[in-house]
Amino acid sequence: MKSIAIRRAATAMMAAALVLTAPGIGMAGSLAGSVGDKRFSPVLPGSIKDPCNKAYKAYVAASGHSAYATTGFIRVMDGYVLCGAKYNAPSQQEAEDLAMKSCQSGLAHYKVAAGSQCQIAASK
């Protein structure tokens, strides 16, 4: 008799714990498909085959902490857009740091004029 009462009490506690944690389970899901914290709308080239266009789409599709960095685009002065991205990093801050490094390495590689700067466009 005592074991049946203990079993019922344990079952009731487990059911209550499941009911209380169930809403949190859905919220802790994947970040895939989310734009995240969008700081500004990045200028994406018209071609879907452009590397920056592909990088932004991969950023949105990434399921973990990710970031997308890009240079500004001023139509009169700049004829280019450079970008960098990091997907599925351990933290949002690390993703932002690595995306900035990736973008800045593009600036150094192409020896772009001093007027362009990389900025984080979106991160999650």
pLDDT digits (tens, 9 = 90+) for 95-115: 999 999 999 998 888 877 655
Residues in contact with 2: Cβ distance below 8 Å, sequence separation at least 6, in sequence order? none
- Whether 22 is in a domain gets the answer no
- Whether 13 is in a domain gets the answer no
- Whether 28 is in a domain gets the answer no
- Whether 42 is in a domain gets the answer yes
Residue of 75, 28, 53 lying closest to 121 (CA atoms) = 53
In angstroms, the Cα distances linking 28 to 24, 91, 123 are 6, 15, 17
Residues 73-94, mean pLDDT to the nearest whole number: 81
What's the domain range around 56? 37-123
Q: Tell me the whole-structure pTM to 2 decimals.
A: 0.71
Q: What one-letter code names the amino acid at 11?
A: T
- Whether 14 is in a domain gets the answer no
- Whether 66 is in a domain gets the answer yes
Residue of higher predicted confidence among 10 and 36: 36
Residues in contact with 77: Cβ distance below 8 Å, sequence separation at least 6, in sequence order? 115
- Whether 78 is in a domain gets the answer yes
Residue of 85, 87, 122, 89 lying closest to 103 (CA atoms) = 85
Number of domains in the chain: 1
pLDDT digits (tens, 9 = 90+) for 51-69: 999 999 999 999 999 999 9
- Whether 62 is in a domain gets the answer yes
Asked whether 84 and 69 are in contact (CB, 8 A), the reply is yes
Q: How many Cα atoms are found within 13 Å in the side-chain-facing hemisphere of 109?
A: 9
Eight-class DSSP state of 29: S
pLDDT digits (tens, 9 = 90+) for 12-42: 555 555 444 444 444 446 888 889 999 998 8
pLDDT at 77 over 80: no
